[in-house]
Structure 1
Amino acid sequence: MADKEATVYIVDVGMSMGERHHDRAVTDLEWAMQYVWDRITGTVATGRKTAMMGVIGLRTDTTSNELEDDVHFSHISVLSNIKQFLMPDIRKLEEELKPSRTNKGDAISAIILAIQMIITHCKKLKYRRKIVLITNGQGRMSDENLDEIVKRIKEDSIELVVMGTDFDDPEYGYREEDKDPRKAENETLLRTLVEDCDGVYGTFEQAVAELDVPRVKTIKSMASFKGYLQLGNPEEYDSAVRIPVERYYRTYVARPPTASSFVLRSEPGAGKEAESSDTAAAIKESQSADADALTSVRTMRMYQVEDKSAPGGKIDVERDDLAKGYEYGRTAVHISETDENITILETFAGLELMGFIQSDHYDRYMHMSNTSIIIAQRANDKAALALSSFIHALFELECYAVARLVMKENKPPAIVLLAPSIEPDYECLFEVQLPFAEDVRTYRFPPLEKVITVSGKVVTQHRNLPSDDLLDVMDKYVNSMELVDTDEDGNPVETFPIEDSYSPVLHRIDSAVRARAINPNQPIPPPSERLTKFSHPSEDLVQNSKEHLEKLIELADVKKVPPKAKGRKRTREPEKPLSGLDVDALLHQEKRAKISPNNSIPEFKQTLAQAENIEAIKDATKQMMVIVEDQIRHSLGDANYDRVIEELGTMRDELISFEEPASYNQFLGQVKDKLLQEKLGGDRRELWWLIRRNKLGLVVERESDQSKVTDAEAKEFMSAN
C-alpha cells in the first residue's frame, strides 16, 4: 500500500508576480504555475485517496486563515485545506490563483501556517509531509524565530522545498544580473532556512526546463510467485534440494491510461427511464458541479437463442443456463460442469529444475515473455546462501537452468529458463518463459551467401548475391551508424540509453489529459521533444554515415521506384519498367482469349490487365463464373472448397479495382441460389458457410462507389436462408 502524503503548496500571487522579466512571454506567476500544475495534476492522476494536498495563497488581497488576527499573518489565504484533489478543485484553484493588487505578505509566516495545517491534519499518524514554497522573493520576510521553525520542521519530518523565479543557483549554473537588494537578501534567508532543514532549494530555470522529462511511475513490487526452487522430489528422496524463493517482474509492459465511456446526465424524470435501459445504467454520482453533468455507464449483455415459436423468433436465456462447448469442425462438443476437470491439469505450485544447457547453445529468440527475477525468500539467510551457491555454480559453468514453473495449484505449467546475474551488491536469477513445440514457427528461406540451381549446383557468384566490395561498404555503413560512441578518454558512451527512451504513446496521452484538465478550452500543446527524440536518427549519425551511404547506393545500383499510380485500373496506363523495354513484345505474349481452369487466378488477372473495354472484363468474369461453378459441381466433398474461396476472393478484389462490383454481386447471388437449391452437385451448404466466414459477401457502397448495395442489404443477403 502506498504511503500517505500531505503536501501544502504556498503560491506567491503578489502584484510583482504579474510582471514579466528577462524577455519571457509570460508573467512570473504563469511561468511558476507550469511547475505547480505539473505536480498537482500528476498527483490527481494517481487517483489515490491517501495523496492529499492543500494550497495557501501568499500576498493575497484578503486574509483568510486560522491566525488572521495576528498582523504577521495578514494577506495570507488558505485556498484549499488538505484533502484529496479532484478535477473540479483544479478548475476552482485556477480561477483563484491570479496576481493580486498588493505586495504585502510574509513568506515565513506562510510556512508557519503550512506547518500548522500539516500538524492539524496528520496528527501523529505516519505521513510523508512536504511544504512547497513558490515565490519570486520580492516581498517582506521576517527572520524572527527561524530556529524554532527549523526545529519544528525536523521534529515533524517535514520536507521543505523552496522554488524561486530567477533565484541564483550555483549548482545549476544560473545567476541573475542586477538583482534587487531585497530579493538578494530574501534569497539568502530562504537558502539558509532550507539548508538548516535539509530541504530542497532551486530555481525555476531548472524546474521548468526539466518539465519536459517524462516522469516514470514507480511501481511497488509485488511477488508474482512464492514457493520452492527444487531439484528432485523431496517426498521420496532425502537428497532433494528445496530453496524458498520469490519471483518479481523485472520488465513489464507499461500501458497508457484507457478511456472510459460517459454520457450526459439526464433530467431526474428521464433518469428513471435511463435506468431501465438494457444498454447502460448509471453506477455512481459525483458531488461536484462539473461531474454532475456526466455519468459513467455500465454495459449489459443479453443472450438469445432462436425459437420459431417465440415472438420475434428468439427468446432470452440467462447466463447461468449457458453450457460450455469446444468447436470441433462445424459442430460444438459439449462438456458439462461435472466433467470440466477433464480439461484441467492437476498441478501443484512450484519451480522444479528439469536440466541445464550451455549458455552459448541458447538462442535469444526463444524468449516468450516478460523478464522476471528469482530471489531468495526475504529474511531467510539460509535460503539466500543456498540460492547464491546455485547462482555462482551456473555462472562459473556458463550454464542456464531449465525449469518447470506452476504459478498456482491447477494452473497450466510453463517451461522457463533461469540465467544467473551477479552484481557487486545483488544476486538473482533472470527468468523467461520458453516455447513448447507447438509454439515454434519454423520457416525456411534460401541462403543469402549462395544460390542453388535446379540441378543442385551451388553458385557463389551471382547477380542476386552481394559482391565483396558491396559487403565491405555495407560493413562500413553499419559501423558508422553505431549507437555507442566514445568520450574524451576513449571510454564507450551510449548515444541511445534505455533510461532516456520513454514510451511516446503513454506519456503523450498522460500529458494531453493533464493539459485538458487544466485548460479545457485551449489547444493541447505539442509533444515534448524528448518523446520524439528517437523518432529519427541524430544528425551526427546521419552525417557520419552519409559518405558510406552514397557509396553503398552507387555499388548496389539503387534506383527510386516510381510511386504507385492511383485511379481506375481500367483507365490507367500500364506501368513501364525502369529499363524502358516492352516485356510483352519481347516474350511475344498474345492476348489471352480463354482462361484455363488449371491456372484460373493468374490468367484471370492477366486477362483483366489486358482488357481494352468493359466487354472484355465481363467476358473474363463469365469465364470465371463457369470455372467456379464447375469446380463446385465436381468437388468430392470439400476437396475444391479452398480453391473456390480463393477464386471468389480474387474476383471480388479485382472487380472492385476495375469498378465492376455489379458483376461480382450478380454472380454471388446466382451461386447462393444454386447452393441452397442443391443445383451444384448436392448439399453444398458448408461452402456457403465458408463464404460467410471469409467475408466474401456483396460489395457494398462504402467499398466501391459503383455499388448500390447497402450494408443492411448485404447483411440480409449473407443470412443462411
Structure 2
Amino acid sequence: MADKQATIYIVDVGKSMGQKRHFRQKTDLEYALEYVWDRITTTISNGRKTDMIGVVGLRTDASDNHLAKEEGYENISILSPIQQFLMSHVRELEESLHPSNTDEGDGIAALILAIDMIIKHCKKLKYKKNIVFVTNGTGGFDTDDIHTVIDGFKEENINLTVLGVDFDDPEYGYKEENKPAYKAENEKKLSDLVEAVDGAFGTMAQAVEEMGTPRLKTVRPVASYKGKLTLGDPTKYDSAFAIDVERYPRTMVAKPVSASRYVVTEQSTDGESAPTMTATEETPASELQAVRHARTYQIESEDVSGGKMEIEKEEMAKGYKYGRTVVPISQADEAIAVMETEPSMDIVGFIPADKYKRYYHMSTTNVIVAQKGNGMAAIALSSLIRALYELDSYALVRFVKRKNDAPVMMVLAPEIGADFECLIDVQVPFLEDVRPYRFPPLGTVKTVKGQTLDKHRNIPTDEMNKLMSDYVDSMDLSEWGKDDDDESAEYAPIDSTFSPIIHRINQVIKHRAIHPKDPLPEPYPVLTKYSHPPEDLVKKSQAHLEKLINACDVKKVEAKVKNKKRKREQPKPISVFDLEAILESTSGNKKAISLENSIPEFRQKLGSLESEAEFRDLGTQMFSHAKKLITTSLADINYGRACEIIRAVREEFLEYDFAEMYNSLLRDLKKDIVEKKLDGDRTGMWWTIRKFSLGLITKDEADGSEVTEEQAKDFLKL
C-alpha cells in the first residue's frame, strides 16, 4: 500500500504579487503558480486517494479560517481543506488564486494555521506531511513566537519547503540586484526557519526551471514468482537441491498514458441529459460520460425476421481454418490440448558466458533473490551466484510462471555488487524461434560465372575505409559532454535522457487541465536536447565528411519529375507494309487474349489500340482472367498469378492515363469478392491484393484520378 501523504500549499496572493518584475512577462503570482500547478497536477495524475492536498491563501482580501477571530490571523483564507484533489477542485481553486487588494497578513501565522490543519487531519496516523510556502517576501513575517513554530514542525515531523520569487540562492547562482532591505530581512527570517527545521529553501527561478526535468516515479516492486529454484528432482535424488526464491522486475517498458473515449452530454428540454457527439475545450469534466462498449453476435437464420438471429457468446465454439473449411473445436476438446504445467523454475543446464549472444534477449529482465527472512535460502543462492560468477557461466532454466502457462526458457546471469547479489533472468528463444539468414559477404563480389572479385565499384577501397573510420571517430559522443568541473564526460548519460513521447504527453495533459483555452506549450528543452547532434561536433566532423564524399565520388541525384501521361512510341516496320495491321484487317475480328499467355498478349495489343472503348475491353478481358483464376483456385494457389495480371493492367493503364478505368475494374472485383460470387469466401485474395499494393490509383499518381490517399487506404479495408 502506498504511503499516505498530506501537503499544504501556502500561496501569497498579496497585492505586490500582481506586479511584473525583472522584465518578466508574468506577474509574481503567475510565475509562482507555474510551480504550484505543476505539483498539484502531478499529484492528481497519480490518482492515489491517499495523496491529500490543502491550499491556504496568504494576504487575501477576506479572513476565512477558524482562527480569524484571534489577533494576527487576519487576511488568511483556507481556499481548500485537506482532501483528495480532483479537476473540479482545480477549477474552484483557479478562481480564487488572483492578486488581492492588500499586503496585510502575517506569513508566520499562515504557517501556524497550516500546522494546525495537518494535526487535525492526520492525527496520530502515519502520514508524510509537507508544507510548501510560496511568496515574494514583501509582506510581514512576525517571528516573536518563532520557537513555537519550530517545535511544531519537529514534533509533527513536517517537511517545510520555502520558495521565493527572486530570492537569492548562491548555490543556484541567482542574486537579485538592488533588493529592498525589508525583503532581504524577510528572506533571512525564512532561511533561518528552514535551517532550524531542516527543510528546503530556494528561489522560484530554479523550481520553475527544474519543472521540465521529469520526476521519476518510484514503483513498489511486486513479485512475479515465489517458489523454488531447483537443480534436479529433490524428491528422487539426494544430490539435487531446491532454493526458495522470489522474482521481481528489474526493467519494464514505460508507456505513455492511454486515452479513453468520452461523450459530451447536454441538457435536453425535458430535463434529461442527451448525448452529443461533439466536445469543446470549454466543456467541464462533469459533463463527460464514459462510453461503454456492447457486442452482439448474429447468425443467419430464416426462422426470424430480418434473417439474423442473435446468440449468446456462451453458445459459440472456436473454429480454426483448415484450407477453405472451418474445423470447430469445443471447450472440452480444447481443454485436452492445453499443456498442464505447475509453477516452477528448473535449471536444465549451464552455458559459458562467452557463448551467449546478446541478440538472444526476448524480454525485459528480472531479479531473482532469496526468499525474505530465509537465511538458509540466502546462503544457498549466494553459493550458486558465486559459482556462476567464478566459472563465468550462465544457468539455462525452464520457467513456468503460473499454473497451466506455457513454459519458457530463460538464462540466469550472476550479479554481484558491494552489498547486494542476485541472479538476472531474461527469456531466450527455443530452437524454432531462431531464424538464421545468410547474406553475401560485403568485401567480395561474385560474378555470374562464379568468379570472386575483390575489386569492384561496390567494394570500398582501403582509402575509403580509412576515411570512413576517421569520419566515424570524429563524431564520437562518448566524451563530448561536460561535468560540473567542466571536464570531459559522456554527452548523453542514461540518467539525463528521457522519453519525449511519455513526458511530452504528460506535459500537455497537465497544461490543458489548468489552461483549457490556451495554446499548447513548447516541449521542455530537456526533452529535445538530444534530438539533434551538437552543432560544434557537426562542424568538427564536416572536413572528414567532405574528404569521404570526394573519395567515394558521391553525387546528388536530382529527383525525377513524374511524367503523368506518356505515350509509348511503337517501333516502325522496316518495310512500307505494316504486317500486323494487314493480319488484323484480313482476320475479320480481333483475337481475344488467352489465359495461358495473358500478360505478353496484353502488352502486345496495347500498341495497336486507338479508342477508349478498346482499352476498356482489353482491361475487362484481363480482369475476367483474374476472376477465373480466383474462382478455380484451390485455397490460394492461383492468387499470386491473378495478382500479376492485375499488376500488369495497373502499370499499363497508369502509363496510358486510364486511372479511373482501372479503378472501376478493381471496384467490380472487390464487389464480387465481398458478395462471394467467385466460388465462396475469397477474402484471402483481397489480403493478397493489399500485400502487393495493387489498390486504387490515386490523384498523386495520375492526373485522371479523383481518389485521395485516404480513400485508397479505406478502399483496401474489408
Q: TM-score, normalised by structure 2?
A: 0.86
Give the alignment of 1:5-404 within 5 angstroms: 5-267=5-267, 290-404=284-398
Query: Which amino acid in the other structure matches residue 97 of structure 1?
Result: L
Give the alignment of 1:415-434 within 5 angstroms: 415-434=409-428
Answer yes or no: is the 8 Å Cα contact 2:474–2:540 preserved in 1: yes
Of 50-59 and 235-244, the range deviating more from structure 2: 235-244
Of 475-484 and 332-341, the range deviating more from structure 2: 332-341
Deviation per residue, 1:442-501 (Å, 9 max, x gap): 332221111122333222111111111111111111112222117799987211111222
**Hey, what's the Cα distance between the residues in 2 that align with 1:716 and 1:183?**
70
Of 622-631 and 356-365, the range deviating more from structure 2: 622-631
Deviation per residue, 1:244-297 (Å, 9 max, x gap): 22212222111111111111224478797979xxx99xxxxxxxx933322112
Match of 1:471 among 450, 465, 470: 465
Answer yes or no: is the 8 Å Cα contact 1:82–1:121 preserved in 2: yes
Per the alignment, do residues 7 and 632 of structure 1 end up closer, same or farther by CA in structure 2, a change over 3 Å counting?
Answer: closer
The structural deviation recorded for 1:647 is 3.3
Instruction: Give the 3-state SS of the residue equivalent to 2:412 in structure 1.
Output: strand
Query: Which amino acid in the other structure matches residue 296 of structure 1?
Result: A
Q: Which runs of 5+ in 2 are unaligned?
A: 278-282, 570-579, 582-591
Which residue does 2:408 correspond to in 1?
A: 414
**Hey, what's the Cα distance between the residues in 2 that align with 1:629 and 1:201?**
79
Query: Which amino acid in the other structure matches residue 229 of structure 1?
Result: L
**Hey, what's the Cα distance between the residues in 2 that align with 1:519 and 1:52?**
22
Query: Which amino acid in the other structure matches residue 493 of structure 1?
Result: A
Answer yes or no: is the 8 Å Cα contact 2:247–2:367 preserved in 1: yes
Q: Does 1:645 align with 2:668?
A: no
The structural deviation recorded for 1:677 is 13
Match of 1:570 among 557, 565, 569: 565
The structural deviation recorded for 1:639 is 4.0
Of 556-565 and 540-549, the range deviating more from structure 2: 556-565
**Hey, what's the Cα distance between the residues in 2 that align with 1:34 and 1:383?**
52
Instruction: Give the 3-state SS of the residue equivalent to 2:72 in structure 1.
Output: helix
Answer yes or no: is the 8 Å Cα contact 2:343–2:403 preserved in 1: yes
Q: Does 1:495 align with 2:491?
A: yes
Answer yes or no: is the 8 Å Cα contact 2:266–2:273 preserved in 1: no
Of 266-275 and 50-59, the range deviating more from structure 2: 266-275
Answer yes or no: is the 8 Å Cα contact 1:265–1:292 preserved in 2: no
Query: Which amino acid in the other structure matches residue 111 of structure 2?
Result: I
Per the alignment, do residues 429 and 673 of structure 1 end up closer, same or farther by CA in structure 2, a change over 3 Å counting?
Answer: closer
Which residue does 1:580 correspond to in 2?
A: none
The structural deviation recorded for 1:633 is 8.6
Which residue does 1:664 correspond to in 2?
A: 662
Q: Which runs of 5+ in 1 are unaligned?
A: 281-288, 575-591
Deviation per residue, 1:587-642 (Å, 9 max, x gap): xxxxx999998897799899999999978966874674576468669878864332
Answer yes or no: is the 8 Å Cα contact 2:629–2:638 preserved in 1: yes
**Hey, what's the Cα distance between the residues in 2 that align with 1:641 and 1:541?**
54
Answer yes or no: is the 8 Å Cα contact 1:106–1:142 preserved in 2: yes
Q: TM-score, normalised by structure 1?
A: 0.86
**Hey, what's the Cα distance between the residues in 2 that align with 1:718 and 1:40?**
45
The structural deviation recorded for 1:25 is 1.6
Give the alignment of 1:605-644 within 5 angstroms: 621=619, 624-625=622-623, 628=626, 639-644=637-642
The structural deviation recorded for 1:218 is 2.2
**Hey, what's the Cα distance between the residues in 2 that align with 1:660 and 1:257?**
48
Per the alignment, do residues 543 and 336 of structure 1 end up closer, same or farther by CA in structure 2, a change over 3 Å counting?
Answer: same
Deviation per residue, 1:167-196 (Å, 9 max, x gap): 111222222222211111111111111111
Which residue does 1:583 correspond to in 2?
A: none
**Hey, what's the Cα distance between the residues in 2 that align with 1:573 and 1:535?**
48
Query: Which amino acid in the other structure matches residue 564 of structure 2?
Result: K
Instruction: Give the 3-state SS of the residue equivalent to 2:529 in structure 1.
Output: helix
Per the alignment, do residues 675 and 84 of structure 1 end up closer, same or farther by CA in structure 2, a change over 3 Å counting?
Answer: closer
Answer yes or no: is the 8 Å Cα contact 1:660–1:706 preserved in 2: yes
Which residue does 2:513 correspond to in 1?
A: 517
Match of 1:555 among 546, 551, 556: 551
**Hey, what's the Cα distance between the residues in 2 that align with 1:45 and 1:466?**
55
Instruction: Give the 3-state SS of the residue equivalent to 1:38 in structure 2.
Output: helix
Per the alignment, do residues 235 and 119 of structure 1 end up closer, same or farther by CA in structure 2, a change over 3 Å counting?
Answer: same
Answer yes or no: is the 8 Å Cα contact 1:477–1:549 preserved in 2: yes
Instruction: Give the 3-state SS of the residue equivalent to 2:530 in structure 1.
Output: helix
Instruction: Give the 3-state SS of the residue equivalent to 1:418 in structure 2.
Output: strand
Deviation per residue, 1:9-41 (Å, 9 max, x gap): 000011111112222121111111111111011
Answer yes or no: is the 8 Å Cα contact 1:608–1:616 preserved in 2: no
Answer yes or no: is the 8 Å Cα contact 1:391–1:427 preserved in 2: yes
Instruction: Give the 3-state SS of the residue equivalent to 1:315 in structure 2.
Output: strand
The structural deviation recorded for 1:113 is 0.2
**Hey, what's the Cα distance between the residues in 2 that align with 1:573 and 1:415?**
61
Answer yes or no: is the 8 Å Cα contact 1:417–1:431 preserved in 2: yes
Of 470-479 and 485-494, the range deviating more from structure 2: 485-494
The structural deviation recorded for 1:675 is 9.8
Per the alignment, do residues 317 and 636 of structure 1 end up closer, same or farther by CA in structure 2, a change over 3 Å counting?
Answer: closer
Instruction: Give the 3-state SS of the residue equivalent to 1:394 in structure 2.
Output: helix
Answer yes or no: is the 8 Å Cα contact 2:17–2:29 preserved in 1: yes
Instruction: Give the 3-state SS of the residue equivalent to 2:422 in structure 1.
Output: strand
Of 33-42 and 693-702, the range deviating more from structure 2: 693-702
Query: Which amino acid in the other structure matches residue 565 of structure 2?
Result: R
**Hey, what's the Cα distance between the residues in 1 that align with 2:377 and 2:317?**
47
Answer yes or no: is the 8 Å Cα contact 1:699–1:707 preserved in 2: no
Number of equivalent positions: 687
Query: Which amino acid in the other structure matches residue 294 of structure 1?
Result: L
Answer yes or no: is the 8 Å Cα contact 2:636–2:684 preserved in 1: no
Per the alignment, do residues 573 and 503 of structure 1 end up closer, same or farther by CA in structure 2, a change over 3 Å counting?
Answer: farther
Query: Which amino acid in the other structure matches residue 67 of structure 2?
Result: L
Per the alignment, do residues 629 and 514 of structure 1 end up closer, same or farther by CA in structure 2, a change over 3 Å counting?
Answer: closer
CA RMSD in angstroms comes to 4.0
Instruction: Give the 3-state SS of the residue equivalent to 2:190 in structure 1.
Output: helix
Query: Which amino acid in the other structure matches residue 58 of structure 2?
Result: L
Answer yes or no: is the 8 Å Cα contact 2:673–2:686 preserved in 1: no
**Hey, what's the Cα distance between the residues in 1 that align with 2:633 and 2:297?**
38
Instruction: Give the 3-state SS of the residue equivalent to 1:110 in structure 2.
Output: helix
Query: Which amino acid in the other structure matches residue 368 of structure 2?
Result: I
The structural deviation recorded for 1:438 is 3.0
The structural deviation recorded for 1:88 is 1.7
Instruction: Give the 3-state SS of the residue equivalent to 1:520 in structure 2.
Output: coil
Q: Percent identity?
A: 47
Of 597-606 and 550-559, the range deviating more from structure 2: 597-606
Query: Which amino acid in the other structure matches residue 542 of structure 1?
Result: V
Instruction: Give the 3-state SS of the residue equivalent to 2:237 in structure 1.
Output: coil
**Hey, what's the Cα distance between the residues in 2 that align with 1:337 and 1:385?**
47
The structural deviation recorded for 1:95 is 1.5
Instruction: Give the 3-state SS of the residue equivalent to 2:104 in structure 1.
Output: coil
Which residue does 1:581 correspond to in 2?
A: none
**Hey, what's the Cα distance between the residues in 1 that align with 2:461 and 2:707?**
56
